[in-house]
Amino acid sequence: MTPMPETIFEMNNVSFRFPDDQSPTLSSISFAIERGERVAISGSSGSGKSTLLYLLNRLYPANCDGIVEGEIHLFSKPADSYAPGEINHRVATVFQDPDSQFCMPTVEEELAFTLENLNTPASEMAERIRHVLDITGLSHLRHVSIQTLSGGMKQRVATSCALVMNPEVLLLDEPISHLDPYTGKEFVLWLDQLQRTFNLTVIAVEHRLDYWGTFFEREIKITSDGRISEDATFEPHEILRYPFRLHSILDETALSATGLSVKMKGNTLLQPVSFHAQKGECIVIAGPNGSGKSTLVKAICGIYKKQAVKFASDPCGYVPQSPEFLFLTSTVLDELAFGGMSSKLELDDLMESLRLTEIKEQNPFSVSHGQKRRVAIGAMLADKRNILFLDEPTSGQDEKALLKLFRLIDSRLDQGDTVFIVTHDMEFAAAVADSIVLLKDGRMTGKFLADRVWQDPELLAAHNLLPPKGVTRRAESFA
Amino acid sequence: MRNLLHDMNPSIKFITVTIVMLGLAFFFNPWTPLLFFFSILVLQLVFSRINWKIWSLFMLPFVIGAFGYLWTTIVFGAETGGTVIWSLFGFDVTDEQLALALSLSFRVLAFSSLSLLFALTTDPVKFVMSLMQQLKLSPKLAYGVLVGYQFLPVLKDEFFQIQQAHRLRGAAVEKFWWQRVLGVRRVIIPMLAGAVRKAERSAFAMEARGFTGEMRKEFFRPVSIKAKDYALSAAILVIFISTSFLGSILSN
C-alpha cells in the first residue's frame, strides 16, 4: 500500500515584491508539493524562479525586506512562524556558483561547519561526516582543500554539505549552470542515486532542462512577469533549435600559426600547434578542463608570451567570460572609442549593428550580461581587431540569451570577421562552427571540419564532450 | 618539542605577544630590545619549525628600516648632551645620541621578530577558531573573516585576469610607478563589483546551512588550552622580564 501523499509545501495566491521595485516579482502563485516529488521550476532569467526557491528556504523575505502577500505553508505551518535557521536543516539548498558556497578550507571542516550550525553533539560529528562522504562517494576528498577542486566536485561537496544535515527537502538553484555539459550530466546521474537513497523531495530551479533527461516528474513554468503558466507532468525537453546557418568563409587567410607553443617558468603549457583560419570562419575550441584552451587563446591574443616557427594574423580581440573585465570607462560610447582607432562614423555604424545605440550613454557595468558582451565585442571591433576570441560565452545563459548570441556571432561572420569560441556546449558549437579545434593535455588533437567531428562519438568522448543531440538525431532520421 | 610554538593556543599566544609588545615600549635603553631580539630567535630555533628563508625575507625590510632609524637619528638627531665619541664630516656624535639611535633600531628588530614569531607559527584558520572559542569573538565576524580568507586566491586570479584584459586594450602602458598605482583603480572597480556579488552568495549559502550568527555550543575541533600553553606564555614573559632587568643593569 502506498502511503498517503503528504503535502510539505503549499503556496496560496502568493505575490512577492522587492521594496525598491514598482511591480511584483512573483504574483498569484499557487501550488502544493508532496513529499518525495521531483519538481523542476523553469523560466527565463529574471523571471523570479530563484526568488520562489528562496521563499521556500526562508532566505526571503527576511534578507531583502521583501513584501509577501498570500499564504505560504511549510510542513503545514505558516512560513513566518519559523525562527531564523529553524527550517534550514529540513530544507537544504545547493546554489549555482561553485566558487562562493564555502567558508572553510577543507571538505571535512566545511561539513563540520554545517553540523556546528545545527548544534550537533561533537561526539557524533565525525561519524556523520564519514557517513555522508561514504554515501556520496567523496571519502577520498575528506582532507582535500576545497579551492583545489573542479567546479563539478565543488558542487558535489556543496550537495554533501546539504545532505549531512539529513534534510527532508533538497532545493537546487541552477546547480549545473556553471558546469560543462559532460560534468553536468554526471552530476545529474549522481543526484538521481542520492535522491533514491535518501528519499528526498527535490525542487530545482533550472533553465536548461535538456541536460536533465528524465530526472524530474513535474515541471512548474514561470513566465517572465512572475506567474505560473503551466504546472504539469514533466516532459523531457526538446533541445534548443538554432536557425540554420550558411557558411560565410571567404578565401582570405586571417590567421596562420605554425609550431605555436607556450612555455612558462620552464613548464610547457602548450605543445606546438599549427592551424589556419579564414576570414568569415567560425572555429570552436573545445577540450577537457585544463587542456590548454585558455592558454592557446591568450597566447594568440598576445596576453601570454608565445613561441612560434611562423605566426601571422590580423589583430586579435579577446572577450573574457566576464566581459566587464575589459571595461575602462564610464559610458558605452567611451568604451568603444577608447582605442581611438575608428572614426566617429565607423563607431556609429558599429553601435548600430551591435544594437548599442540606445544604451550608448549608460555605464557599461550597469547593463545586462548580454549587452556587456556586445559592448566588449564592440570595443574589440572598434580597435580593428577583427578576429574575435570569445571565452565560454554560453556558460550560464538561458535559451533566449543563447539565440541572441547565435545571431550576434552569425552577423559578425557575415561581416567577414573571424570568430573563435571556447565552449563545452556542443549544441551551440554544432549550430555555429565551421571547424573544431580539439585540445587535450596541452596538445592539439587537430583542427577538424565540424561535420566530421559530430560523426565521431569516440573522438568527442575522448575530449569529455557530449555529442550534440540535434545533429545525431538528424543523422538517425536520414538513416 | 619543535612543534610547541605551532601548537600553542593562538589566543594565549596573541595575548602574550600583545602584553610583551606594550611592555617593550617602556624600555628606552638599547640593551633590552637587543637581548630580547636574540632570545626570541633562540626560542624560535628551539621550539618551532619555521622556514628561516621566509623569515629572512620578511625580516629584510625591517632590518633596512632599523638601519634607517639608526642612521637618521645619528646624523639628524637633535643636539643632546654627552661626550663626543666620534666625528665625521663635521657631524659630532655623542654617546647619548648613539644610545638613543641604537635603542630605536633595536626596538624595530625586537617588535618585528615578535610579530613574525606570531605570524609564522600561527595557522590563520585556527587563530580565528580560537578567538571565537576562547575570546568569545562573534561567529558572524569570525566566519566573515574566514570567507574573506577563502576568497583571497580567487581575487588574486581575478586581479591578474582583469589586468591582462586591460593590457590587451592598451590601457596599462603607463611608464611611471605612480601612473601604475593610479591604474590599479581601474582594476579594482570590476573586482569590487564581483566581490559584492560573491559576498551575497556566500552569505546565502551559509544561511541556507543553518548559520544564524549565534554563539555555537558544539565544536568539531575544540581549540583547547593546555598546561603547556600557559608554560610557553610564561616562558615568553620571563624572557621579557629578564631581558628588561638585564638591559637596565647593562645600560647603567
Interface predicted TM-score of the whole assembly (ipTM), two decimals: 0.88
* Residues in a beta bridge with A446: A438
CB contact under 8 A, A365 and B193: yes
How many Cα neighbours within 13 Å face the side chain of A407?
A: 9
pLDDT at B79: 63
What are residue A276's phi and psi, to 5 degrees? -120, 155
Q: Are A247 and A236 in contact (CB under 8 A)?
A: no
Contacts of B186 in chain A (CB under 8 A): 328
Mean pLDDT, contiguous 10-residue spans, chain A (479 residues): 79 94 93 95 88 94 90 94 91 93 95 95 96 96 94 95 96 91 93 93 91 93 93 88 88 93 90 94 92 92 90 93 90 91 91 90 88 92 93 86 91 94 92 95 94 92 88 51
Map grid coordinates 563589483 to a residue. Answer: B193
Shortest alpha-carbon distance between residue A162 and chain B (Å): 7
| pLDDT for position A96 | 92
The DSSP symbol for A392 reads: S
Q: How far is B83 from chain A (nearest CA, A)?
A: 58
Tell me whether residues A117 and B216 touch, CB distance under 8 A.
Answer: yes
**For the residues B214-218, what does the mean pLDDT come to?**
89
Backbone φ and ψ of A229, nearest 5°: -100, -25
Whether B152 and chain A come into contact, CB under 8 Å, resolves to no
Phi then psi dihedrals of residue A55, to 5 deg:
-75, -25
Q: How far is A151 from chain B (nearest CA, A)?
A: 13
**Ordered alpha helix ranges (H), A286-398:** 293-300, 332-337, 344-353, 369-382
Interface of B with A in 87-116 (CB under 8 A): none
Residue A266 cell numbers, joined: 620552464
Strand A253-264 and strand B91-94: the pairing is: unpaired
- CA–CA–CA angle A50, A320, A384 (5° rounding): 135
What is the predicted pLDDT for the residue at A479?
Answer: 42
Q: Determine the residue type at B31.
A: W
User: Given this model, what pLDDT does residue A477 score?
Assistant: 46
| Beta-carbon separation of B168 and A318 below 8 A | yes
- Residue A53: alpha-carbon gap to chain centroid: 18
Q: Which residue in chain B has the smallest CA separation from A328?
A: B186
Give B178-201 pLDDT, tens digit per residue. 777 777 888 888 888 889 989 999
In a 3-state reduction of DSSP, which class is residue A432? Answer: helix
Q: What's the gap between Cα A152 and its chain centre?
A: 12
Give dist(CA A363, CA A361) in Å, integer. 7
B4 grid coordinates? 610547541
Sheet holding A169-173, edge to edge: A91-94, A169-173, A201-205, A38-42, A218-222, A228-233
Express as a percent the part of chain B with pLDDT over 70. 97
Q: Are A8 and A32 in contact (CB under 8 A)?
A: no
* Contact: B202, A100; criterion CB under 8 Å: yes
Q: Check: CB of residue A164 under 8 Å from CB of residue A107.
A: no
* B151-176 pLDDT per residue, tens: 998 899 899 889 888 888 877 666 77
Distance (Å) from the alpha carbon of A102 to chain B's nearest alpha carbon? 7
Strand A253-264 relative to strand A310-313: parallel, antiparallel, unpaired?
Answer: antiparallel
Helix residue ranges per DSSP H, A71-180 = 107-117, 122-136, 151-163
Chain B residues 188-217 with CB within 8 Å of chain A: 189-190, 193-194, 198-199, 201-212, 216-217
Percentage helix, strand, coil for chain B under 3-state DSSP, each rounded to 5 = 75, 5, 25
